[in-house]
Amino acid sequence: MPGNLPRNSSTSNRPTRPEPGPTVAAGEGACGGELARLLSRRLGRRFKGGVVAYSNVAKVELLGVPPDLIETAGAVSPEVALAMARGARRFFGAEWGLAETGIAGPQTGRRSAKPVGLAWVAVSGPVERVLEVRTGSGRRSLNRRAFARAALGLLLAVWGEFNPEEAEKPG
């Protein structure tokens, strides 16, 4: 037992009961960890982990996105979002993968013709879906939160289609 910590349920070796429901993993780009924060709060132990794949190299090396897909479709595209969701699912061995790739901002110094506030979110599991998100905002912090909320909303909507009881479970 480390230090002088009192023995309680959080430091004991007793096995914990997994929370009911499917497991989820995330791959995120522009959100920079915001999606993982939301998922850990909402899903608890059902959230297996996340990868912040901000760079294209991270998307390729950590999530297995094919480099030629990034080259042809672009890093911010529905195809790459879905590949990231599949990669997160595979990387963590989760039942569902959730991903986001977008342009949070700022506008200055950008090379892309795609607008700030654009993202694609995707879910991969027994069913797959992709959703375009356009915030219309140039504010980076607002966009990151909006992208993460859209991804979580997509996951919950898909769960509602796939298993209506699952969407109603509290987080």
Provide block-wise average pLDDT over 10 residues at a time, the chain (171 residues).
48 50 96 97 96 98 98 98 99 98 84 91 97 96 98 95 57 50
Side-by-side strand order, sheet with 96-103: 47-52, 24-28, 96-103, 118-124, 128-134
Q: Model pTM?
A: 0.84
pLDDT at 21: 86
pLDDT at 160: 86
The CA distance from 43 to 87, in Å, is 20
Map out the domains of the chain as residue ranges: 24-164
Give kind and range of the element (H or E) at residue 11: none
pLDDT at 169: 53
pLDDT at 106: 85
Q: Tell me which residue of 110, 69, 72 sits closest to 86, measured CA to CA.
A: 69
pLDDT at 165: 55
Tally Cβ neighbours within 10 Å of residue 65: 27
pLDDT at 153: 97
51 contact partners, CB below 8 Å, separation of at least 6:
26, 27, 28, 58, 62, 63, 87, 88, 91
The angle subtended at Cα 142 by Cα 75 and Cα 89, nearest 5°, is: 45
The CA distance from 67 to 58, in Å, is 11
Output phi, psi for 74, to 5 deg. Answer: 95, 150
The answer for 117, left when phi > 0, alpha when psi is -120 to 50, beta otherwise, is left
pLDDT at 6: 47
Q: 24-164 is classed in which CATH architecture?
A: Alpha-Beta Complex (3.90)
